[in-house]
Amino acid sequence: MISPKEGGGDHSELGAIEVEAFSKRHRLPEEQKQCLIWLVKNHLLMSQTAQRQDIYDLKTIQHFCEQLPKQSYLDYLYILTVADICATNSTLWNAWKDSLLKELYYAALNALNAEKKLLDEQTLVEQRREQALNILVAEDIDKQKVLKQWKYFKAKYFLHESPEIIARHTKAILATKSYPLVMIMPHHSQGGTEVFIYMPHNDKRFTITTTILNNHHVTIQEATILTCDNQFDLDTYIVLDERDQAILSEQKIVDIKEALETGLRQVDTLPNITTRRISRIQAHFNIKPDITFSEDKSHHFTQLFLVAADRPGLLAHISQVLLKENIHLHSAKIATAGERVEDTFQISTQDGKPLNHKQQMALTRL
C-alpha cells in the first residue's frame, strides 16, 4: 500500500479515504469508523492550534472546541497528536511542546465541560487580578499602588500570565528604580523559561532582544509584545536552551540578564547578529521560504505565516526587517519541525491597522 504522503495530494484527505476502506474491511461499527475518519482528517488540528495560535485567547479555545464533534474526540486527538509528533521525528518532542498541548487540552476540556457556553474573557481577567492582588496584599504591598499600576496593563497580559507570575512582575515593577527591568524565571507551565522585560517604549527593543538571545544560543518559542497605556513596553518571551529545554544554568541566566539590560539601555546601537555555522543536516535541506498573509479580523491585525529552513539567527534577522519596514509586532509563535520552521507573526502598522498590499510585499524579502 502507498502511504498518503507518498501518493501525493492532501495526505489528510487521502488518509481518510484509506481509513474508511480499512473500517469497512474490518467491519468496524459506524461510530468507530466516523471517529477514525475524523481523526485522520483532523490529525494536525491540535498541533497547529497549539503552535500557531494564541491558546491564551479564549476565542482560540472556543473555535477549537467547535471543531470537535464530541468531547471524547478531544482525548483521542490529544493521544494521536503526541504519537504523530514523536513518530515523525523523536527529536521534535520537548518539554515546551508537551506543555503547550497540555494547556490546550485542559483549556478545551474546561470549555467543553461548561457545555460550550460563551467564554467570558473579562471574568477570567478579573479572577486573575483578584488572585494576584491577594498574593500581593499578603506580602504587604500597597493595594492602591498595585491597582494604579494595573490600570495601564492590557487585558491580554492578564490572560497570558498566572496570578503568581503577575504578582511577581508587579512587585518588581513597583520596586524598580531604573529601566529596563529584566526578569528571567521558569514559565508557569514549566516547559520553558520566561524572559520578562518592562521599560519605556522603544521600537528597537524587539530587534535588540532577539539578537541578544540569539547570540547567547537561546531559541525563542513565543513572544508577546505589549505597549501599556503609560507608554511603557511589557514584553514576555518563552525561550529554550540549545537542548530545547528550559534554561537551568544559573550562570547563563545571569549572563543573558546582564546582556539584555546593557543592550536595552543602549537602544541607539543595534547589536550585531553573531554568525554561527549551520549544521550538516540544516545545510542538506533547501527549503524555499514561503510567506502568506491573512487578516485577523477579531484583532484587526495582519497574520504573517512563514515557512523556511531553520538557521541560527533567523528570528533576529526577521526582527531587523520588521524594524526597517516600520512594522509593529504584537506576538509571535515559533514552531520548529526538524530542519523546517513554521512561524506565525501578528503584525500591524504603527497606528494599529492591517498591512496593505504594498506593505505586505515589502516583507516578502524575509
Cell triple for residue 220? Answer: 525563542
- How far apart CA 246 and CA 56 sit, in angstroms, is 20
Q: What pLDDT score was predicted for residue 4?
A: 46
Q: How many CA atoms lie within 13 A of 298 on its CB side?
A: 7
**Contacts from 169-178 at CB under 8 Å and sequence distance 24+?**
169/196, 169/198, 170/132, 170/136, 170/141, 170/146, 171/136, 171/139, 171/141, 172/198, 173/149, 173/198, 174/141, 174/142, 174/145, 174/146, 174/149
Q: What CATH fold (topology level) applies to the domain 281-366?
A: Alpha-Beta Plaits (3.30.70)
Residue whose C-alpha is closest to residue 198's, from 225, 159, 160:
225
- How far apart CA 260 and CA 164 sit, in angstroms, is 24
Angle at the Cα of 220 from the Cα atoms of 218 and 223, rounded to 5 degrees: 145
Q: What pLDDT score was predicted for residue 115?
A: 55
How high is the mean pLDDT in each 10-residue block of the chain (366 residues)?
Answer: 46 81 88 92 94 89 94 97 88 87 94 69 92 98 97 94 95 96 88 95 94 93 92 94 91 98 93 71 64 85 91 88 92 80 92 91 82
Written as one letter, the residue type at 78 is: Y
For the purposes of burial, counting CB atoms within 10 Å of the CB of 48, is it exposed (0-12), middle (13-18) or buried (19 or more)?
A: middle
The single residue listed with the C-alpha cell 500500500 is 1
Whether 178-274 shares its CATH topology with 281-366 is answered yes
Q: What pLDDT score was predicted for residue 8?
A: 42
Angle at the Cα of 357 from the Cα atoms of 311 and 54, rounded to 5 degrees: 55
Q: Is 273 left (phi over 0), alpha (psi -120 to 50) or beta?
A: beta
CATH match for 178-274 among 3.30.70.260, 3.40.50.1820, 3.40.50.880, 3.40.50.1100: 3.30.70.260
Alpha helical stretches, state H, 176-287:
205-215, 250-265, 280-284
Cell triple for residue 43? Answer: 490529525
- How far apart CA 290 and CA 288 sit, in angstroms, is 6
Q: What pLDDT score was predicted for residue 338?
A: 63
Written as one letter, the residue type at 277 is: R
Q: What pLDDT score was predicted for residue 2?
A: 37
Q: Where are the domains of the chain?
A: 4-112, 120-175, 178-274, 281-366
- How far apart CA 9 and CA 340 sit, in angstroms, is 20
Contact predicate 366/327, CB 8 Å = no
Written as one letter, the residue type at 353 is: K
Cell triple for residue 155? Answer: 487585558
Distance of CA 271 to the CA centre of its chain: 25
pTM of the full predicted structure? Answer: 0.86
Q: What pLDDT score was predicted for residue 12?
A: 78
- How far apart CA 366 and CA 308 sit, in angstroms, is 9
DSSP 275: P
